[in-house]
Amino acid sequence: MNKDQESQLIDFSDRCKATIWGQFVGDALCLGSHWIYDLNELKSRFPEGVAGFEAPVEGHYHFGKHPGDFTHYGDAALLLLQSVAEKGFFSPQDFGARFVGLFSSPDYHGYLDHATKGTLENFHPYADKFPDQPFHFQAGADDDQPATATRLAPVVVAHAEDDEMIRVVESATRVCQNNSRAVVYMKCHAMIIEALLGGSGLPEAVKAAASSVAGEPEFGRELSGLVETVFARLNEEVREVTLGFGQSCPIKNSFPAALHTALKFQDDPRRAFLECANAGGDNAARCAMVGTWLGARFGLNAVPQEWRERIVVHQEIEQCIDRIVRHLES
């Protein structure tokens, strides 16, 4: 039985669970190797290659965290997972309140990226001026990096059979990224996940999603053109293509680079994770996307159990995922 035939036997709930697990594993896997752009430095630090779940060394962006912890991406993703699990749906107000609560706290010592800083800068003046009025949490930072891409999985899973899913995705994006490019790319991301949850093959899902957003007045043609480039370069190595698109955070770099990795190694998900990690730069964001797509495509077999269990809060994640899936089945 080949991989495609095996995929047809995977039930919907298994795909849903793996979509979310893949996102979290991708982030945690890259904790100690995140944001190392120089591949010679990456090789020097990890002579045998990045194997995953390394401890951040002193001077690293995530120093002080431990193997099995998340980067700042995963920290925010856990908040969104908990919010969706408790509410049964995506609520910008609930997630937004959790977000500003954690990242405004003096007890949080993780990295604050541009999306986080900008969102807090937009929220606090309003909260100070109108302390008794709720904030709508649709005025995030003007940021086109991959923050939302690293946390969107539970939103799509919870709303996969909802006619309003794309509107919900836009709302989820604008909580921290009130940016047109980010919105268009997240619509594409969500459409890929939705198609995979329905049993589509990965190439078909990617092409259909890119075609759907191609007509967007802003950035649709940019994104569909990048997807065409991805398919044209599948015979090239992950590191080479990632360097070509750019190892850095902007979504126009990280999204197509992640797609290339997922498509090239869709039949070997473990290798896909590691190839992505060893391409350096913003590997945590790219691996979170790769894990999301391959989990949705192939179910929990695509997300090694030993990696899931290495995550410090794996029991909390499992409980939240089970709540979301039970809600879908009710």
The Cα 23–Cα 61 span in angstroms is 20
Q: Is 71 annotated as a binding residue?
A: yes
Contact predicate 14/299, CB 8 Å: yes
User: In angstroms, how far is CA 265 from the centroid of its own chain?
Assistant: 18
For tokens 């029991």, what's the residue? 315
Helix, strand, coil content of the chain in percent (nearest 5): 65, 0, 35
User: If DSSP codes are grouped into helix, strand and coil, which group holds residue 285?
Assistant: helix
Q: Is 292 annotated as a binding residue?
A: no
The Cα 255–Cα 262 span in angstroms is 11
Contact predicate 294/22, CB 8 Å: yes
CB-based contacts of 246, cutoff 8 Å, min separation 6:
252, 253, 254, 257, 281
Q: How many CB atoms lie within 10 A of CB 38?
A: 12
Contact predicate 124/290, CB 8 Å: no
How far, in Å, are 155, 204, 218, 313 from residue 151 at the CA level? 8, 23, 23, 16
CB-based contacts of 92, cutoff 8 Å, min separation 6:
136, 137, 138, 171, 172, 174, 175
User: In angstroms, how far is CA 22 from the centroid of its own chain?
Assistant: 9
Detail the residues annotated as belonging to a binding site. 71, 282
Detail the residues annotated as belonging to a binding site for Mg(2+). 71, 282
